[in-house]
A = this chain, B = another copy of it.
């Protein structure tokens, strides 16, 4: 969920929370009656008869969960949010937090603040879900902290709809020693710990009685993973050292070394080649040692061992601190739930349909980093499609018949649309003409032939904040219109069933992606392969990130932090 992207429409809604008006919003905990044991009381005999609200349970307060909560505005739901973090964190700024360019508190917003002004009943519990029981529609939770004499409080929450947005764990690829000795960069606490470790390393290395070798080791910072997070952290660390720390620790300067290890042949492989090249060149000039094709095979308390992909050569180097940033792995609770609903254990994340509903369930949704959309293949449904399109049951499709369903096909199977765009064709009829020239009617075989390459266009969405936020907003809009959509379905034709789908399937809009490279330079890859690199892009980065922040409070704080850094530099107090 690392890389932030540009102009993301889905998260625009984050902007309009006015923190200025200080209204005490009445959302009493006792009001909802959503809890298992509270049920008995909720049907009090004197209460006027009212429609029982549907109970929605949201797991997680990251990008997906928060975006869902922000957009949900149908008061016919009673919502309970369960997350060990009582705040939303603007994760794209975590690398800035590691070195104090931005303060941790500037990028977080209490979830209670985010939901308090809604017309929907939302309750939040600071707890971790440790088991999802989809059979009896219950979620088992455990409080974050000990309750005296009871240990951690456990409780059960019932749901009608469950929204799983629990995110993911860092992926260690089971490399020995990683969990014990490496820093991760997924949570605010991780960033705080890294910041402290960097200062500690400089203080340690300044002690009077050490050898040069020891100082070198302490000030050797290793970053594993050349993705956007790893690269941005390496760049931020380099700036912190060069712009601030060497001034206060002049003797330590000559011992500092930053190494970036990447298993692939290049860093930032998800970006355009021009960006990759620029970044590698810049890091070279900056003295950041980028070791490509270098797989980490072991981390001990003192050394990190790598194997070169080219010749299998094993190398070992002493380090002071390692930051591990190589992608995401599965949360154990999600893993357990996958078993329950019959999904393959080899999967990395939960599979959902195109409406974000978990496959094998009917009232559980999953979004963000813990889920992936399993796009239905055209070839699986090709017979049904043909049959539905062939209205006169002639066994042949006319172009007219096909054109009548073409919009539904493109909506249900976006890969068709994508394929047409790639081939620069106007519509599906062109595809047929292209293939079968002047034939007015086509058989199922001809249709199959025409569409045979289409499914290759299916790609999994990246695990980014942009995707998660769009999914949360999409799902909230579906929930908002659930009743109307039941009566007037908005979605495409059901090719394998009757009628139409209730909603249009989720469609991701990519607005571009940034890669800050340090020294007030940023690379950006915008839609349409437009690439922009340099100081002006850094300013674009500043303005986009400022506009994307969750509230006026965080926005003003982050901007203040930036200004403060320009004027005073970054703080090096060890707190």
Contact = CB atoms under 8 A, between A and B. Distances in A.
Contact of A22 (B108, B153, B569): B569
A301 B148 contact: yes
Nearest to A568: B553
Contacts of A149: 302
A411 interface: no
A30 B208 CA distance: 9
Interface in A558-575: 560, 564, 567-569, 571-575
A333 to B, nearest CB: 19
Contacts of A126: 203-204, 206-207, 574
A560 to B, nearest CB: 6
Instruction: Find the residue from A153, A199, A302, A573 having the highest chain B CB count within 10 A.
Output: A573
Interface residues of A, number: 76
- Report copies per complex: 2
A25 interface: yes
Interface stretch (A64-72, A248-256, A416-424): A248-256
Contacts of A110: 248, 571-573
A208 B155 contact: yes
Contacts of A109: 573
A359 B210 CA distance: 36
Nearest to A31: B251
Contacts of A85: 574
A20 interface: yes
Contacts of A223: none
A204 B564 contact: no
A174 interface: no
Interface of A: 19-20, 22, 24-30, 35, 37-38, 85-87, 100, 103-105, 108-110, 112-113, 116, 124-127, 143-145, 147-149, 153, 155, 157, 188-189, 192, 199-200, 203-204, 206-210, 214, 217-218, 246-251, 301-302, 552-553, 556-557, 560, 564, 567-569, 571-575
Given A113-B248, A552-B568, A556-B564, 9 more contacts: A19-B569, A20-B567, A25-B247, A27-B250, A104-B575, A110-B248, A110-B572, A144-B203, A147-B204
